[in-house]
Structure 1
């Protein structure tokens, strides 16, 4: 089964004093790369969370964010009187020194300054974290479902491209015997232009066989067909195999390149170019496969 590395999941939960929204998204990457935006109160859980997510999601550039909305008015806060007075004195002094007007609403100005308002530090509650873990699991499950859906689209596209290469491989066959006959005719015509020159016909036949064998592409066609079959088999495996598909695509590329170098025929070379175009599209899509 093919899974895409692209995905998105979201889940929310209401706790006694706040609402927590968890979003997780994934893009393609060669390895597991996690970026988190987590409130300080939950930071001690980040290592365990990272290890768990690496097993669940395997690969991808993962972005995990927590959004906290306080819904209770019981959250206690205090004003740092000393710091507020210091801010007031410094602002007043700068006002006289720089000839800048003092603020009209002192309280609104001062209360917005850093660390004037202090909320009582929260402590991590294990029961609360257990609920949050389940919420994270919901978001991850949604992301995995997204990956499966995207993976099905990827699979259809990859199968289409593989079939295109298979059809192009069949289009080569009519030109194979034609180009061999052209080579023979060209060599015979060249020898016929030589006057008063004799040559060993047995040696000539040996050289002709050697030359034709160098142009033979049956082995490359057979190997390419096997690679195409193996690619489809890998798509059918239970676990998504993005890296393995990439290796198979590399082997397909080698056989297609050899076909091109051996073709010695303009129409065959055009077909090889079309094969390369299909293969490049396959390689681009494989980058998104888990």
Structure 2
């Protein structure tokens, strides 16, 4: 039998139910997004869901947004309601680790199953277009005079932009314990506060503010990367004499209590998804840097990053 005829026969038998589908082909996945709509975790979770379907490894993906406490509320729901569920996923990242360090919630990410790191993104600090300040130097001068008069807006307490703000204060000689940080439950809330002039300076991933920067509604004054981001004409903190660099990675976990085989199946599905056209388009659109890491390597990375973040936060006076 010719190869093409054989493949057509296999496809026909599968469609007719004579052959079993691969275990993942009919997967109806549930994605916990421990943040409100409009932020980085929300964008990441929905982009991953689309990529899983585009790669043909999931037939459907449903989403559950549960914002608050740097992801701790969503984490608690995920840990308590998804035990042993091989079709449950949760988006998480550096922000959740920071929130656990500062908030000390009754649940921990160690109760869930580490699967994969997906991306890295650096933060950008912005001013509303109506701000009397024009540069990071202006913000720093005011910060030195009166740390509490500068309202920093961003993600939950312990987020990378919160840590960066404390690091900036310490670096320029202001008391990091006196910074006025206003946490928001999601990117949408933070964006509204910045556009409304309710905070002095806002921080988040560049993709969340991009349309407002390009339209002139926000003025980008610094990025937290080691060098300027590709195609983005915004100076780094370092080139402005502020020795601060911090990145924000995002990843995905499985439910507590799943078997190693089930975890491997999910990892394989995620790896296939990251090779899809939909994922490539999401990386390009959002300016994400691919940073795939899976399994034990990822679990070890999370342990190291938790320790490093805690040390940084202690040094910055946040813990």
| TM-score class normalised by the smaller sequence | under 0.3
Who wins on radius of gyration, i.e. which is larger? 1
Structure ranking higher in helix proportion:
1
Q: TM-score, normalised by structure 1?
A: 0.20
